[in-house]
Amino acid sequence: MKQIIIALGSLSALGGIFGLLLAWASKKFSVAIDHRITAVTDLLPGANCGACGSAGCAAFAEALVNKESELSRCVACNDQARCEINKVLGISSLQNCGEQQVAVIKCGGGKSENKFIYKGLKDCRASAGFMGGHKQCEYACLGQGTCIEVCPFGAIEMQDIGVPVINPELCRGCLKCVQICPRNIIEMHSKKKTVYINCSSLEKGADVLKKCKSGCIGCGKCVKICPVGAIKLENNLAVIDYTKCINCGKCVEICPTKAIKNTSLIKSVG
């Protein structure tokens, strides 16, 4: 009995001493944590894509809290999260926080006829390097699906017409497809403005029509119908100024070759 009491007593004494030591150490060596950083990290998309220029979402959150970066540099964040992050950071307005950007592939393709049958590697970069690509139109999507391979979110799918489509709901705007496309026909635009020109050809209308049935022929009908004057023709191609665009969709209806598309309709496809 005596031994048990001695063992119990000495162990509790030791426990007490170590407990006090730890309590003192935690006060003495404590590191101040800014709870805003963890809160912002949780709200960021967590894709760690690096498009903001920081090493990842946690590093970006720290930079935001320390006012070394701006929220507009994040392209993947959705609008709700942007409001929440602004609340955490104590910024009331939505100014400078940017809008969620999504990618679109600007080619109606499919109907663009082939110059020859390409039997090489299934990679757009290889295809573009051989005789300038197998499509007649030199702005056409080559359809080998390299963007599908690189998309980390599985947002890109191949359509029946041989041109991939990006689902705006899944796209987080990491720019990987934009950077890898050898034809440079993938473009970023605000997720809220759903209309876009589904063609990249800078050729004259007649030449476009010879090669493709779904290209922009530069007829200028959309320019005339746009109620806010947001569309203009540049090098035979219609260009939408998204700062003016009110997303009314009138240009989509008027376009004779159906070269203006609305991403809100893509959901049913993707």
Partner 1 sequence: MMLSFCGGKHLSSYKQLTKDKPIKDFPLPKQVVLPLIQHIGAPAEVLVKVGDLVKTGTKIAEAKKLISSPVHSSISGTVSKIVDAPHPVLGKCKSIYIDSDGLDTFDPAIVKRNNYANLSKDELLAIIKSAGIVGLGGAAFPTCVKLNPPCPIDSFIINAVECEPYLNCDFRLMLERTEDILQGILLVKRILNVDNVFIGIEADKPQAIAVMRTAVRKLNLAIDVVSLKTKYPQGAEKQLIKAVLGREVPSGKLPFDAGVVVNNVATILSVYDAVALSKPLYERVITVTGKALKEPANLKVRIGTKFKEIIAYCHVGTKPVSKIIMGGPMMGLAQFTDDLPVIKGTSGILLLAEDEGCEFEQQPCIRCGRCVDVCPMRLLPYALSLCAQKRSFDLARAYNPFDCIECGLCTYVCPANRKIVEQIKLTKIVLK
> Site for partner 1 (CB under 8 A): which residue of 46, 129, 220, 249?
129
Closest to 136 in 3D by CA, of 182, 197, 203:
203
Q: Which stretch binds partner 1 (CB under 8 A): 32-40, 126-134, 188-196, 231-239?
A: 126-134
**Residue in the structure block whose two tokens are 């990290």:** 41
Alpha helices in the chain (DSSP H): 2-28, 35-43, 57-65, 79-89, 124-129, 146-150, 176-180, 205-211, 221-225, 250-254, 266-269
CB of 171 to partner 1, least distance (A): 21
What's the DSSP call for residue 241? -
CB of 113 to partner 1, least distance (A): 12
Q: Which stretch binds partner 1 (CB under 8 A): 14-22, 77-85, 132-140, 168-176?
A: 132-140
Closest to partner 1 by CB, 35 vs 119, is 119
Closest to partner 1 by CB, 148 vs 239, is 148
Closest to 226 in 3D by CA, of 191, 189, 193:
193
> Site for partner 1 (CB under 8 A): which residue of 14, 116, 244, 249?
116
Q: Which stretch binds partner 1 (CB under 8 A): 103-111, 127-135, 151-159, 184-192?
A: 127-135
CA distance 65 to 88: 9
Three-class secondary structure assignment of 19-38:
HHHHHHHHHHCCCCCCHHHH
Sign of CA pseudo-dihedral 179, 184, 185, 191: positive
- Residue 149 interacting with partner 1 (CB under 8 A): yes
**How distant, in Å, are the alpha carbons of 48, 50, 54, 63, 172 from that of 59?**
9, 10, 6, 6, 18
Site map for partner 1, 70-109, x if CB under 8 A? ----------------------------------------
Closest to partner 1 by CB, 79 vs 138, is 138
> Site for partner 1 (CB under 8 A): which residue of 36, 111, 115, 213?
115
Closest to partner 1 by CB, 133 vs 168, is 133
> Site for partner 1 (CB under 8 A): which residue of 39, 126, 170, 248?
126
- Residue 133 interacting with partner 1 (CB under 8 A): yes
CA distance 38 to 58: 8
CB half-sphere exposure, 43, CA atoms < 13 A: 25
- Residue 11 interacting with partner 1 (CB under 8 A): no
- Residue 123 interacting with partner 1 (CB under 8 A): yes
Site residues (vs partner 1, CB under 8 A): 115-116, 119-121, 123, 125-126, 129-134, 138, 149
